[in-house]
């Protein structure tokens, strides 16, 4: 009996120690291995501080009236079927990566897109609706909707509707519907983009690239649907394609057999090449192929190559129409569809969609989901009575704490989390101690009773 009691007491003590230590261990664990949920714009901005983590989008986020800086990213991002709406990008990355043209001349290049540079990254199930990348620069640059540069990265099952405009004066540049330059893969992605590239240097020749999927590089393509409306005004060498501007091994010493399979291409590229040493590469899938070590099958096209020989005016959508006003009609959002505004020119019939709005749900009762702190926006959650989806809305930001310094605020929040666990730990410890004392007391009582019975038995003898 004594051995059993000792074992039980040791078990209780170990339980108490574990109760105290486990929360401390968990709170100090590396959170980068966990998926971080993104509910609002403030949450999304924090990926810049931890770009190698894993993220999951839990809500549609509207970027109206915000200017997004391209993020260099090396983690995983699951859009979870949600959309980032009306993203506006007007700047390039501060960091550069080495790119090169068909002559193997290298360039230190900047990038623009929702993601500036993707390295060892995975992006999936993300919608970018109404994204507009509009960059003017004197530096070598690749601009695209989702990523300016990819290396060993994958894009899968995304949806893009947007416009990329690049006005540039340097030697190496291009615009892409999904990505700019690099390697990796793009699969099962639907991109409907308007692409505009304007070379503002009429004196010096350049290397220019445009592609409905990506500008240049060695990115595998499979199962994508690409709609392109391209406008390219160049005074150097044009490399344009419905899918890819130039297909070239990257890095140069790569030994790899790639593929461009089962893609659908629709649309047109309108371009001019103001250059006496003309090349004018522009075709329905790949503008210029530098390396033929790839599989090409199952692709379908409905593409127009429109070369212009008037170099006096740069080419733009709606550019030659004198009507500057658009008639607008609204397509309201529902539980299943995003809303947007249709812009239509009655003179030339040019039309596009803009001002996207999140899906509209009916929530009859909201509950607090996340309390506002010095570093986090508060959130409410509720269930849509029409479709059953869980919806989140911002519930304010607690500024009453008077904390200005971010590091101090973060430290305070961590301390608050630790403090919030103390009552639970104390209760568990008290209950465990009470049970231990109760068991020992019961054991002692039983032991005394046993001795009395034994004593009485001996006295009768």
Tokens, residue 95: 């960091």
Domain definitions of the chain by residue range? 2-27+412-460, 34-317, 367-397
Tokens, residue 399: 């500024």
Note whether 157 and 125 are within 8 A (CB).
yes
Distance of CA 237 to the CA centre of its chain: 33
Look at the block and give the residue holding tokens 């506002």: 372
Residue 106 to residue 97: CA distance in whole angstroms: 10
Look at residue 109 and give its three-state secondary structure: strand
Q: Model's pTM, two decimal places?
A: 0.80
Q: What is the pLDDT of residue 424?
A: 61
Residue 144 DSSP code: E
Work out whether strand 159-168 and strand 127-137 pair parallel, antiparallel, or are unpaired. parallel
Is the per-residue pLDDT at 355 higher than 80?
yes
Residue 385 DSSP code: T
Q: For all residues of the chain together, what is the average pLDDT?
A: 87
Q: Where does the pLDDT of residue 236 fall: very low under 50, low under 70, confident under 90, or very high at 90 and above? A: very high
Note whether 311 and 274 are within 8 A (CB).
yes
Q: What is the pLDDT of residue 252?
A: 80
Fold of 34-317: Pectate Lyase C-like (2.160.20)
Is the per-residue pLDDT at 442 higher than 80?
no
* Residue positions counted in the chain: 461
Answer with the residue of higher pLDDT: 334 or 24: 334
- Peptide bond before 129: cis, by omega within 30 degrees of 0? no
Is the per-residue pLDDT at 411 higher than 60?
no
Q: What is the pLDDT of residue 412?
A: 42
Give pLDDT tens digits for 58-110: 999 999 999 999 999 999 999 999 999 999 999 999 999 999 999 999 999 99
Answer with the residue of higher pLDDT: 27 or 251: 251
Note whether 294 and 257 are within 8 A (CB).
yes
Q: What is the pLDDT of residue 166?
A: 98
Residue 280 to residue 436: CA distance in whole angstroms: 86
Give pLDDT tens digits for 178-199: 999 999 999 999 999 999 999 9
pLDDT, mean of residues 264-280: 95
Question: Which percentage of the chain shows pLDDT scores above 70?
Answer: 80
Note whether 339 and 360 are within 8 A (CB).
yes
* Number of other CB atoms surrounding residue 431 within 10 Å: 12
Answer with the residue of higher pLDDT: 23 or 306: 306
- For every residue of 166-178, DSSP letters joined together read EEE-SSEEEEESS
Helix, strand and coil content of the chain, in percent to the nearest 5, comes to: 20, 45, 35
* Number of other CB atoms surrounding residue 329 within 10 Å: 10
Is the per-residue pLDDT at 460 higher than 70?
no
Is the per-residue pLDDT at 416 higher than 50?
no
Indicate the helix (H) or strand (E) that contains 119. Answer: strand 115-119
pLDDT, mean of residues 202-219: 96
Q: Where does the pLDDT of residue 56 fall: very low under 50, low under 70, confident under 90, or very high at 90 and above? A: very high
Distance of CA 426 to the CA centre of its chain: 42
Q: What is the pLDDT of residue 441?
A: 72
Residue 400: HSE in the Cβ half-sphere, 13 Å Cα cutoff: 3
Residue 380 to residue 361: CA distance in whole angstroms: 14
Beta bridge partners of 35: 54
Give pLDDT tens digits for 372-409: 998 889 999 999 999 999 999 998 655 443 333 334 43
Q: What is the pLDDT of residue 30?
A: 38
């Amino acid at each position: 009996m004594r051995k059993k009691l000792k074992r039980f007491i040791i078990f209780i003590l170990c339980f108490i120690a574990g109760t105290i230590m486990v929360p401390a261990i968990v709170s100090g664990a590396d959170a980068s291995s966990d998926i971080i949920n993104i509910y609002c714009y403030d949450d999304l901005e924090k990926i810049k501080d931890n770009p190698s983590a894993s993220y999951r989008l839990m809500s549609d986020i509207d970027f109206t009236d915000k200017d997004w800086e391209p993020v260099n990213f090396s983690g995983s991002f699951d859009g979870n079927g949600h959309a980032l709406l009306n993203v506006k990008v007007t700047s390039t990355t501060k960091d550069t990566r080495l790119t090169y043209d068909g002559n193997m001349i290298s360039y230190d290049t900047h990038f623009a897109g929702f993601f500036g540079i993707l390295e060892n990254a995975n992006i999936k199930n993300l919608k970018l609706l109404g994204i507009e990348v509009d960059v003017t620069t004197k530096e070598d640059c690749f601009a695209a909707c989702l990523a300016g540069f990819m290396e060993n990265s994958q894009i899968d099952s995304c949806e893009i509707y947007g416009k990329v405009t690049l006005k540039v004066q340097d030697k190496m540049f291009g615009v892409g519907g999904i990505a700019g330059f690099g390697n990796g893969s793009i699969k099962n992605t639907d991109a409907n983009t308007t692409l505009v590239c304007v070379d503002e240097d009429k004196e010096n020749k350049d290397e220019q690239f445009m592609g409905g999927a990506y500008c240049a590089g060695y990115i595998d393509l499979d199962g994508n649907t690409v709609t392109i409306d391209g406008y390219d005004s160049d005074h150097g060498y044009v490399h344009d394609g419905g899918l890819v501007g130039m297909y070239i091994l990257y890095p140069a010493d790569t030994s790899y057999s790639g593929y461009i399979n089962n893609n659908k291409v629709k649309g047109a590229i309108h371009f001019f090449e103001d250059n006496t040493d003309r090349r004018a590469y522009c075709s329905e899938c790949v503008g210029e192929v530098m390396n033929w070590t790839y599989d090409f099958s199952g692709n379908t096209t409905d593409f127009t190559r429109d070369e212009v020989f008037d170099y006096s005016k740069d080419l733009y959508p709606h550019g030659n129409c004198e009507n500057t006003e658009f008639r607008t009609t609204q397509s309201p959002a529902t539980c299943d569809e995003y809303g947007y505004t249709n812009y239509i020119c009655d003179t030339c019939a040019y039309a596009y969609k803009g001002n996207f709005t999140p899906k509209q749900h009916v929530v009859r009762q909201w509950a607090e989901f996340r309390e506002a702190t010095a570093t986090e926006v508060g959130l409410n959650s509720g269930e849509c009575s029409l479709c059953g989806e869980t919806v989140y809305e911002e519930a304010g930001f607690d500024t009453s704490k008077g904390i200005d310094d971010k590091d101090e605020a973060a430290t305070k929040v961590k301390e608050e989390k630790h403090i919030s666990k103390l009552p639970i730990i104390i209760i568990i410890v008290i209950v465990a101690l009470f049970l231990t004392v109760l068991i020992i007391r019961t054991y002692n009582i039983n032991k005394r009773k046993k001795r009395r019975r034994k004593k009485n038995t001996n006295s009768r003898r």
